[in-house]
Structure 1
């Protein structure tokens, strides 16, 4: 079987996509598990307090402000205490009140009658007869929480009452009354109803408990304290309120006075304002009459529902860009709040959502962490593979000019640097192909054409001319090959770094080209330089780079001119300059000056021969020595090349200062 070619790019992105998919599954499962656990164990973890706070705000925003006119409160308020005397009142007054409420459908006396009143022993019988005459009076029980026993009213009152129900309300851990428990079992297993269903049973509207009789029922409060129709006890007793007002009404009689202590905070309380116990009972009675309790899902159902927004957020994160995923996460958070309000407002359903908020809030940063880490790990592996391949091809890597850390920005910079190298490599490949297909083929084709002409006697050239032309083509080929090889070595070969005296380097170059300059009557001036200028690098490459610049200056300078060379200190670096008085160049030519295989005015008369690789070689060598090269030129005004190389702080005598400014 013939092996298929390996495609690193496709393999990279394929592996990355599979890794991202696996990371997404792990992140999604982890967040769903966390959300489920938070929803399941919300109470011991303290999330219930946050759920209560969200519930209170949502309920306050969902209140419809409608109360049932069938419910009336007869309040033992401060005005009634002022008129009738200090509390507790004689039970004979309660008996008279019941006679005034004889048209009511049911009367709930939210007043505890568990103790005898020795001062008025006959009042209990008066009240018992009044309760019996009315026939639709409900009396309260008080359940002792730890012992689960109920304290009933006095026996004659208990026998006369149509029904009895406990009036205990159980606040949440923050002390707020949000619910009622409509039935519970005493220590002996006897079931006992709450005051609210006891009243409805007497009124002929029994409550259907269903399978969850002992579960708490969230109260859909009709409004802030004082929302129900209320009549002062003293005015009802005195007849100021007509008896017909109470016909077929559900009447609750209870304390409203500030000093009686029967008041509790509710979800609709503001600035410490409490709601009286009798009004809490009225709200519960309204909910039971209309079956408008706010439902809560079972514990496992609430945990599953809490996971749905997290799953939605994770699905969006997998398919969207980071910016859109962030907006999608915010949209899911908004959807949680909006959905909870709609469910409470129109569906009478409350689903705690703090666990969902935590899960969705964590989704974006956790997914960003894992997806970026996966991508960066793949980038690191690909970069390592690329470096190993370069080591195999080059026999060694050039030293990096920058140090990269392990942070995200550092690795992105490394990726950017590598991509830039790949782009340069692609550009170099295209230029190499062009070089091989055109520049290298042209002189070879010329030699083949000359030999073809020489094979025919009528077109044969004289031997001297033939050899001259072949020699020219071969010489041009050698120039191209030499320039190409030099550039390739400068780009890929490893460099040996050792101290290099730039003054000595420039001096040797000037002496080497003295004869060529003399032939054109050009003077090479090298003055006002320091005694020594040390840098670290490859002396051979630096020497060849400077030779290329000096050679170009000689080629493009007219006779009887001068070339100025100089070295001066610039901070911790050395600045080398070479100026000629040649033809100069335009701005467009200056922009493309260091590109390989670029030659200007190639067809102009007297233009020096070359491959267009010399300045590309110079730029490559200087950059690999962590330096920079700049050019300043104008058409017809000569050219100035400036090279900046870092100084060597470990030079034998330290960095030298220039001889003159």
Structure 2
């Protein structure tokens, strides 16, 4: 392989050396150790150890300290506890309580211990002072003699401060003491002399990780004072090993565990009880020998270094993932099946590092190659489309027919006529030259060579002002068959098959595809690009969506035919607009209507850079929303010119009348002036509220209570209802919290209630109900009015829409109230509906999503 194409060669040596170097660098951090701890914690907490039925805890808790007084308690109290547990049938009693100082009550406690026969006491290894050597702290001599066994109470904290296990043996010099749990289970005596060492040296042996039953409080625990004060309980303690120790806050050992960390640490007595439970079921976990982890890591490094450089990228990922999976299975199988803790962190890091390293080698190689290809593409920046000179004459004739709409034509293959209309072979001029047009009045002729075959093509053009422009356009077309491009030599370098395919695909990639994919496809407008014959060569997704034509059928379709098929028109015809764009090279802008939507299509001619080829870019913009806004604007102008202007003119006329005779102002005139002013104000308020509703966004939403909103709206229209003696009956007691704008929601409810009052007869009732339905807050407003005709229901929420029945009855509105309600509801992602029966009344139902559907 040429080094110019592949600057870094992926080999087992390069892969292996880089992996080893990174692993050595990672060893300076705590990452591998923390990863091993994390895997152990996740495994043991996901599948906690089963609880042994032979263990229980008597806890020195806060309640016991409160009843028995401050610590230390008299040893007669502990003797009394032993007597109670003896009576209850406890098999073994393990104290996680130090008795280092002799006491006058030791005789009583020792006697109780001897009567039971299986009482284990703890020892503690610590220096007497900060400046003295480590020493063993044993129970008082009389208690030591009475104990069945002694055990050390030390729990090992790992480097991250979490307790995961302990040493089964611990001591000074050659005197090794078993742990409390081991002493309670096998009664090994007072130690072992199998590890000779200096008497001042702390010796620890046989570390075991403890699979815990759960977090603090999981084991069966009974309060010290309750066991002491109640009768013996054989059903609780008989045949069990009972651990006695402190669980009160601030008293005794506090051990973070994988279940709790520092949030809810475990007491020392609970940890020892967990250890005994695991020991009793043979579940304690041994650590694998030291050589296992580096050996496993080196094996993984060797395997991946040999395999990955030869694999495909997808198989590389699969191999790395498979390696991780195998290591995790081995780790978890060792923990749960063989009770063996295999540290796999370093081995796990190997595939996690190998994957990006292998990918980096491939990316470096690919990047170098792609850069060369991009440089080549940059040096020849031209867009290539199928040249007319490469098309079959029959296809050319079809395109000319779609583009120019000739009055007649003739296509001959040698002496044979393929297609004709209005022309015969006798009309063919004798001075034709291959690839050059000959124009005779409104007739244009050309001779085409395709291989060894000669074709003759003639057209009868429209005999009008466009003829000369069309003939100039035809002369610009290069229809003469060009000689084949020289065949490029294949590169001599031996590159991989994958890169070779990429290179070939890059060579086949043309600038038109780049232009389309990088620019046109993401434009907000629809884009169509044609060639010199107005045949579609590209259309973006908007065209496919708006015209509902599949993309394969768009490519190769004449543009004029596409437009005529969806928006046929006679003046001016589409082919004329398209052809003039090409022949006159002038832009055109035309209205277009497709499936009841309004569009604006702009035709613009273009020339390819460094080429004589031309075409059309058609930009289609969706102006339906703009047209709708124009319609609404016209409606608003009409509304203002009539409904707003009318009361203002009446007010001015009334004011002029009062000015002419100010001494005779009647109350009726002032009342009328007030009504007109209120109507003008009401119209202005409707416009303002509608504008606010249209501009509402969720940034102005906040928590609001729906029932309170409806109650406020009811209070706002109560005076209006009282004038007609209409009762507003509100039903609803549940608080329904929404995420919305309370002010506009209240205005919307007021509009509904106001309409109900307006259209209801006097001495009637309006039923208002607020309730919850699923995840929605609902409001229904039912009146006993005249109802709404069925043909008016679909247009009820349109702007400026008024009911004929209401207008005839003398109830005049603006036609904006219900439109405002609908906009507010839609802005809150809700819905509104109406049910009405003429003569019986109407019921409006409003539904809004509640803020917390799970509450």
Distance (Å, rounded) in 2 between the aligned partners of 1:113 and 1:71? 23
Distance (Å, rounded) in 1 between the aligned partners of 2:485 and 2:245? 101
Distance (Å, rounded) in 2 between the aligned partners of 1:555 and 1:331? 65
- Map of 1:556 onto structure 2: 436
How far off is 1:152 after superposition? 1.3
- Map of 1:260 onto structure 2: 251
> Larger helix proportion, structure 1 or 2?
1
How far off is 1:32 after superposition? 5.0
- Map of 1:278 onto structure 2: 269
- Map of 1:172 onto structure 2: 158
Distance (Å, rounded) in 1 between the aligned partners of 2:281 and 2:192? 10
Distance (Å, rounded) in 1 between the aligned partners of 2:482 and 2:41? 79
The match for 1:93 among 77, 80, 84 is 77
Q: Partner of 1:326: helix, strand, or coil?
A: helix
Distance (Å, rounded) in 1 between the aligned partners of 2:266 and 2:112? 30
Aligned pairs (5 A) from 1:216-615: 216-243=207-234, 245-269=236-260, 272-308=263-299, 317-373=308-364, 375=365, 407=368, 409-413=370-374, 556-558=436-438, 582-583=445-446, 599=451, 601-602=453-454
Deviations 1:272-296 (A, max 9, x none): 1121111100111122333321122
Distance (Å, rounded) in 1 between the aligned partners of 2:20 and 2:236? 57
How far off is 1:108 after superposition? 1.3
Distance (Å, rounded) in 1 between the aligned partners of 2:332 and 2:452? 75
How far off is 1:357 after superposition? 3.3
Are 2:211 and 2:278, in contact at CA under 8 Å, matched by a contact in 1?
Answer: yes
Deviations 1:294-313 (A, max 9, x none): 12212221222345555565
How far off is 1:179 after superposition? 0.8
Shift of the 99–633 alpha-carbon distance from structure 1 to 2, 3 Å rule, reads closer
How far off is 1:350 after superposition? 2.3
Deviations 1:196-251 (A, max 9, x none): 22222328999999999714210011222223232322232234333574343222
Are 2:292 and 2:342, in contact at CA under 8 Å, matched by a contact in 1?
Answer: no
Shift of the 603–167 alpha-carbon distance from structure 1 to 2, 3 Å rule, reads closer
Aligned pairs (5 A) from 1:76-155: 76-102=60-86, 103-116=89-102, 121-144=103-126, 147-155=133-141
Deviations 1:376-423 (A, max 9, x none): 6xxxxxxxxxxxxxxxxxxxxxxxxxxxxx7553135468999xxxxx
Shift of the 581–86 alpha-carbon distance from structure 1 to 2, 3 Å rule, reads same
- Map of 1:23 onto structure 2: 11
Are 2:11 and 2:305, in contact at CA under 8 Å, matched by a contact in 1?
Answer: no
Are 1:106 and 1:203, in contact at CA under 8 Å, matched by a contact in 2?
Answer: no
Distance (Å, rounded) in 1 between the aligned partners of 2:182 and 2:46? 28
Unaligned stretches of 5+ in structure 2?
197-202, 380-428, 458-479, 489-510, 513-529, 535-578, 586-605, 612-855
Shift of the 60–318 alpha-carbon distance from structure 1 to 2, 3 Å rule, reads same
How far off is 1:557 after superposition? 4.1
Shift of the 37–306 alpha-carbon distance from structure 1 to 2, 3 Å rule, reads farther
Q: Partner of 2:355: helix, strand, or coil?
A: helix
Compare 256-265 and 218-227 and name the one that shifted more.
Answer: 256-265
Q: Partner of 2:156: helix, strand, or coil?
A: coil
Length-normalised TM-score, structure 1: 0.54
Q: Partner of 1:81: helix, strand, or coil?
A: helix
- Map of 2:36 onto structure 1: 51
Are 2:246 and 2:267, in contact at CA under 8 Å, matched by a contact in 1?
Answer: yes
Q: Partner of 1:178: helix, strand, or coil?
A: strand
Shift of the 98–601 alpha-carbon distance from structure 1 to 2, 3 Å rule, reads same
Q: Partner of 1:265: helix, strand, or coil?
A: strand
Note the aligned Cα RMSD (angstroms). Answer: 4.9
Q: How many residues align?
A: 424
Shift of the 408–253 alpha-carbon distance from structure 1 to 2, 3 Å rule, reads farther
Shift of the 415–89 alpha-carbon distance from structure 1 to 2, 3 Å rule, reads farther
The match for 2:51 among 61, 67, 76 is 67
Q: Partner of 2:57: helix, strand, or coil?
A: strand
> Larger strand proportion, structure 1 or 2?
2
Are 2:207 and 2:286, in contact at CA under 8 Å, matched by a contact in 1?
Answer: no
Shift of the 288–614 alpha-carbon distance from structure 1 to 2, 3 Å rule, reads closer
Are 1:104 and 1:248, in contact at CA under 8 Å, matched by a contact in 2?
Answer: yes
